[in-house]
Amino acid sequence: MASPPSVEIINNAMFCNTVHALAYTDTHQKWLIRKHLLSLHIEFSSLSPSVAMFTHNDGTMVNLLKAEGYLHISQYLPSIHVSIWIHEHYPHKPPIVQVTSKSNPTYPIRPNHPFVDPSGVTTSSYLHTWGPFGHDLLGLAYSLVKIFSLDHPFYFASAPTLSHPSYMSKTDCMDRLWWMLHYDMMTLRETTNDEVENLTILQADMSMRVDITTSIIIGLNHERVNLKQRVKEITDESDILINWLAVNKVNLSVAMGGKVEDAFECIDTYSHLALELLAEDQALEDLMYALEKALEKGVIRYEHYMKQVRSLARHQFFFRAKIERLKEVKIFKLLD
């Protein structure tokens, strides 16, 4: 049985004709709301009726009845403070359910809850399928207990044991289906976000590789241009050499059958002397190289090797000194 104070609050609110009158205009509607509120209070005595001003999303303010209090969930889960606002077009419009954290202000509503948004507005299959027949405040309260047992808005709890679908109502099955789909979508969203983040990192890495590859291609293009220029220069030098060979074919025929030096002509005495000194210097260098190889193979002894190298190095020193002296004389002669 409903408590007298609650009945008095409902009766006074229903028949108030002052500026504080409720937004319900139809008499039949008022008696139906009274009946449903009393039935709700009998089964859930913690939900007390009261009158308050409600503001819709469009800013419209109306004076409505509401049932407010702590909704007991189970002995293992804490109670939840709820406000069930009775819409001005009830029962053609469903009630508006709000959850608040009055029971424990330190624990806000869990983010990404399948039935309660961050502002506390609650939805369920019972509200989505609401109709003027077959739905009332008492059925709504039982529906809220079931969905909050399934997923508490303030505390994480282990998933309850699911009953076989054949033992569940249509709305319960829809709530459980939405609950599973909600968390599946969250998991998929997190996985997708991780993949997008990884792809973003890969994209940045690929962009860096593209920049490196582009710089390499630019460098190769410069090198190709330089090589083409060098090929052109070598080709020009080759043409000059071919022309020289054509002009000096007589001397080349002599060189092919005799000494290589005969293929070159010295223009003066200094050039002839310089050619001889350079040839002797190269001959001494070749001889010392041959002695070094002979020492490595053990053909000659180390003492003989050192004796020969000292002698040859002394001769090479004098030849190189003559070459430097000849260069100086040649330079002075050109200056004169």
Q: Convert the pLDDT of each residue in 64-120 to its tens digit.
A: 999 999 998 888 888 889 999 999 999 999 999 999 877 566 678 888 889 998 888
pTM of model > 0.75: no
- Per the model's pLDDT, the better-predicted residue between 175 and 200 turns out to be 200
Rounded mean pLDDT of 27-51? 90
Confidence (pLDDT) at 266 = 67
CA quadruple 171, 181, 87, 117: dihedral positive or negative? Answer: positive
Does residue 313 have a pLDDT over 80? yes
Host H or E run for residue 85: strand 80-85
Best mean pLDDT range from 244-248, 272-276, 284-288: 284-288
SS3 of residue 129 by DSSP: coil
- Structure confidence at residue 254 (pLDDT): 52
Nearest-angstrom CA–CA distance, 15 and 79: 33
Q: What is the mean pLDDT of the chain?
A: 84
pLDDT classification of 265: cutoffs 50, 70, 90 = low
Q: What is the mean pLDDT of residues 131-152?
A: 90
Q: What percent of the chain has pLDDT over 90?
A: 35
pLDDT at site 158:
56
What share of the chain in percent tops pLDDT 70?
85
Quickly count: other Cβ atoms within 10 Å of residue 133's Cβ: 6
In the prediction, which pLDDT does 268 show? 73
Q: What is the pLDDT of residues 157-166, one digit of tens each?
A: 655 555 555 5
Contact 139, 152 (CB under 8 A): no
Query: Does the pLDDT value for residue 52 go beyond 50?
Result: yes
Q: What pLDDT shows up at residue 335?
A: 47
pLDDT value of position 178: 85
The 10 Å CB-count burial string (b at 16+, else e) for 13-46 is: bbeeeeeeebbbeeeebbebbbebbbbbbeebee
Specify the pLDDT at position 8: 79
Region 287-300 average pLDDT: 89
DSSP classification of residue 45: T
